[in-house]
Structure 1
Amino acid sequence: MTTDIKNKKSALAIAAVLVVGLVLGAAILRTDKVQPAGEDHGHAEAGHAEEGHGDKGHDKEGHSDSDHHAQAAPATRGPHGGKLFTQAGFGLELSIFETDVPPEFRIYLYHEGRPVPPEQAKVKVRVERLGRSPELFDFAAEKDYLKGSATVEEPHSFFGTIEASIAGQALEFKFEQAEGRVQISEEQLKRNGVDIAIAGPARIRSSLQLLGEIRLNQDATVFVTPRLAGIVEAVRANAGDRVRKGQVLAVISSQALADQRSEVLAAQKRLALAKTTFEREKRLWEEKISAEQDYLLARQAYQELEIAVESARQKLGSLGVAPGESTQGLTRYEIRSPIDGVVTDKKISIGEVLKEDAPIFQVADLSSVWVELTVPAKDVNALKVGDAATVQSSAFVAQATARLSYVGALVGEQSRNATARLLLPNPKGLWRPGLPVTVDLTSDEVAVPVAVLAEGVQSLGGGPVVFGRYGQLFEARPVETGRSDGRYVEVLKGLTAGERYAAKNSFLVKADIGKAGASHDH
């Protein structure tokens, strides 16, 4: 009897377990399922909600982030790596795709676990960012997904609302994701010395850092040539010597010079004879002893010889030879410096036979030098003649000011660089040709609509960012920068006038974001 009772109890227990198993199985079968597509399509955190930051501040429409958290629908990871929302048997997966394209929203649709053609749905996404007006994205069918109508700008940190109509079924989902965001109280800011500034208009004196090299001022440099062939008899200057204008640099013996001097002397002798004949014929004609024709012929001969003598003297003078030098020998030729300066090159030796066009000395006036600059093509239009510059030596401590005197009209085909030139006064000879220098070029002041203090710009994620202040939150805002004068930096994109941001000690905000792991991994 006792055995029968035990058998009946065991049978009832087994039956109960079977009933529970059937109920659970039915429940699982009724649950909506989405079959994995096996593809990873870009942004894997399209619905990530930041946790543990408490008060999140307020956006322009007065919604607090705590309200957004309350309204955001729970979601899971979808087969394409996006955020999957489900409702009434329908599934909607939202991802941010950015592989080889600017970031864009992509939406995949499902019903009862099966893909839905994108043409059968209408979707709109409203995005609200801290300190910004809402953005509305429309969607159009493309391949097996819906593509957003605009680029999803960085940072990908916002509260969003999805409104969809799939096969006549109206759906709405809310989500939030945050990146590059950290909460810091006013007390913490004060304790760490982080100052808050306001982005706005500023006057920026554009500055451009370039590398350069000191070169000879070619406008004050001469090459000395003998202008006559001859043999070198003496050399009286060496490279590095300082010389004065007219100082003898070398002496050569030239037969061509002897011929030229002989021509001058012969012409002078003929002129003296012609002068005597002319004066005699003039006197005889005045006394009516000789005919007028003889007087006129004598005068003509005298004038022609005057011209010949003057021509011979000018030929001699063009060689830099004074008539009085002929007393020291017809072949002696003294080569003189044409300017005050320094001998920077010498190519002459005693006994050498020179050609008339051989460059034997280079003399340069080093009271001024050139600074040659290599300018990238993108910066050429920012330069203009007359711009001020500060020149600093990279070999020793020295600094001087100069003006831009030349901007090249051509860009190198290989280097894609242009050449610019500064005229640098060098009264003490400190700036020697060949010396490498750094140049800080400064143009006129320009008014810009949005600028921030230079110390407020940090590098994060491979680009410049400014940490905007929104309530108790800081959020990294990627910016496109323009001109800078070392104090202010022009902001072309990413920040608007009137926004507050971390200025002094902004690197501490960057450190807190790094410690909090708040930057998003795209």
Structure 2
Amino acid sequence: MRKITSNKTLLIGGVAALVILGGGGLWLATQRSEPATPAAVEGEAGHAEGEAGHEGEAGAEGEAPEGRVELSAAQIQAAGITVVSVGGGGGAETRLAGRVEPMVDSRAAVAATVGGRVERVLVAPGQSVRVGQALVSLVSGDAASLRAEADAAQAAYVAAEQAHGRDEELADQGVVSRREAEVSHAEALSAQAAARAARARSSAAGSPNAAGRLSVASPISGVVTSVQVGPGGFVAQGGVVAEVSNPARVEMVFNAPPALAANVRAGSALRVMGPEGEFDAVVTGVAAGAGAGESGAAVIRARPVGATLPPAGSAVTGAVVTGQSTGGLTVPTEAVQTVEGNTVVFVQVDGGFQATPVLAGRQAAGRTEILRGLTGSERIAAANAFLLKAEMAKGEAEHGH
């Protein structure tokens, strides 16, 4: 009997323990499953919004403004991006046909200023020479006479100047009249002028020495194309002794309609297409009615800017802007980019560039007219501006991820 009671007591104790544990577990489950009070919800939402706000502020502080490409000066230079000012102008484009031709001063037929015997020939065809370099050595009796006249005139001037000095001293002492001193002064001035003229004639003849030996020098730098005399020969005054040409002295010559001459002037910009690509040029001269024949065409001469011309005889095509407006703005065409369907230029700002929307107009001679979006005081990316577009697209792609 005791044994049964004892077992029942143990059984009741176990059941009680299970009830207590079960009730505790139910209480915990009830606490977890009960809906939160409004105050708790608001508190948690406010906390979440606060965290989101902090995250938004951090994002705003860390990210660059929309359309901004941040680059250092070293990165800009390494990328080959050139920065230029916004220019003025705008107008219509006229295309011209032309050729590369030698300049007027690119060739020289070197002649002897006095007749004489050829003593030595100092150059040969194909040899490069510089300005003032001797081509031929002559011995000339006429040149010797010119040198003698120059020496005699110089001696006469020295004598007249000394006589004037003595007369001045005597006039100060009262030995001679002041008028005699003035006469001697005039004679000294006359002798000085005669000596100067004699020296000039001798210099024009090639500055011969007392024996009449002189050199005929090249007036330009270039290459000797021909030699017309040989040692021992005689060359008359004005006779050509050699020809020199400078192949680097070339220019572009365009034939233009007569009406164009009034709209183009020296300094106007040209965009030229040659055998090796496009380059910029500037007009150096315009001659109305100077074209070949009776066409009355204008001739426009131009030289390259930062480029080397192709050889003489090469055909080129030029584009000149006419009818320019003074109030318009233009930028290099390569500066204008399209980003997400919008036309923009990249304006330089502190730390990089900002994509600025613009309204583009006509294109002429490598420049694009800007109708709206710029004030004219900006500096913009020109060459390699497409790299900024690519960098901006890359940044947007990374941000999307």
TM range (shorter): 0.3 to 0.5
Structure with the larger strand share: 1
Which structure shows the bigger proportion of residues in helix conformation?
2
TM-score normalised over the length of structure 1: 0.37
Higher RCO (CA-CA < 8 Å; seq separation 6+): 2
TM-score, with normalisation over the residues of structure 2?
A: 0.46
